[in-house]
Amino acid sequence: MPSSEREGPETGVHPTLIDVGEATSALPRALTPMRPRLARRAFNSPEYIFELKWDGIRALVARDATGLRVTDRGGGDLLPAVPELRELRLPEGTVLDGEIVVCDSRGRPSYDLLAGRLGPKAAKRGRGPIFVAFDILYADGRPLLARPLAERRARLLGAGLGSRILAIPEHLDDDGEPFLEVVAEYGLEGIVAKKRDGRYVPGTRTADWLKCHVTPRADVVVGGLVIEGRGRARTVLCGLRGEDGSIAFAGDAYVPPYLGEWLDVATRDFAAERSPFATPVALREGLRFLHPRLVAIVEYAGLESGELRDARFRALRLDGHLDDCRRDTPVEVPSYPPHTTSDRPRLIVLNSLPFPVS
């Protein structure tokens, strides 16, 4: 008998044996979603497909032998915050990329309603939550990351995974300009253009994916507030990070009155004695500096001398990262004449939204 068969585990000579079935059933736990860059404008191109941009929280959903996981961009567990998604039914060995959304009474995704559900008061308003899956990264425990997007999309659409809490949106070939026009008509956030032959590279922000907003928006560092006498935030002082990690002042954002009192209370624990900005800021009555820990979504009309013009506070980003608060040089893509009128884009919008739109 060979020595390797005579010696038992008690001799300490045998290496530890690996259960191959268990090893292949586990999925990676450190995947970070691929991210889009900013397009200068909507465009038409046969190299791209176009999808809705969802006004939600980016998430990865995975099921393996250990169970279901729903994680945010940093790997944090989202299931305690969105327990409804525990009912998701996926085949073992599957990883999906997508967003968690809550829709308003007209069927449109609303980050404000989603943030209200996940905030301290947990107001259960809106329709959802729904996980909108727009990419499949693993199937049957095998990676699909190196496969072209068109193949991954076809596999996702053919997998039959749709349910009352999991939506699989459609996409439009070639024509981003008429698509964005229809998206604006329905009051939605924007579109994302993705190269049809592109691979999925986790953790990258790449020009293979390009976002086009209906109204320009940015993630900014909340560096301070201007508080009115009635204890209501009137203005957010916005910051953007430089390559050296410093935070430059990027202008003021108006706070709608209905959010002012809430924002004042929500940020009090972050009050600071000195400015977090590396560039000068004009002092004014009611100014409260904040430690640079919070990220806000703001909409704006344009940029002027490096500052946001006519900016408006939308919400605090629940999954915000300071590294996301950077100036993004827009990507210019050649555009071609569209192949379609608005009828096809309109159908894609209506078929993609998880609830009927009014």
Q: Which residues are catalytic?
A: 53
* CA atoms of 326 and 270, how far apart (whole Å): 21
As a whole number of angstroms, the longest Cα–Cα distance in the chain is 89
Pick the closest to residue 53 from 70, 37, 32, 69 (CA basis). 37
Cis status of the peptide bond prior to 129, with omega within 30 of 0: yes
* CA atoms of 228 and 235, how far apart (whole Å): 9
Backbone angles phi, psi at 152, to 5 degrees: -65, -40
Q: State how far the alpha carbon of 303 is from the alpha carbons of 113, 292, 317, in Å.
A: 28, 22, 21
* CA atoms of 335 and 327, how far apart (whole Å): 24
* CA atoms of 340 and 205, how far apart (whole Å): 30
Pick the closest to residue 187 from 55, 340, 35 (CA basis). 55
* CA atoms of 107 and 111, how far apart (whole Å): 13
Residue pair 42/216 in contact by the 8 Å Cβ criterion: no
**Cβ contacts of residue 245 below 8 Å, gap of 6+?**
none
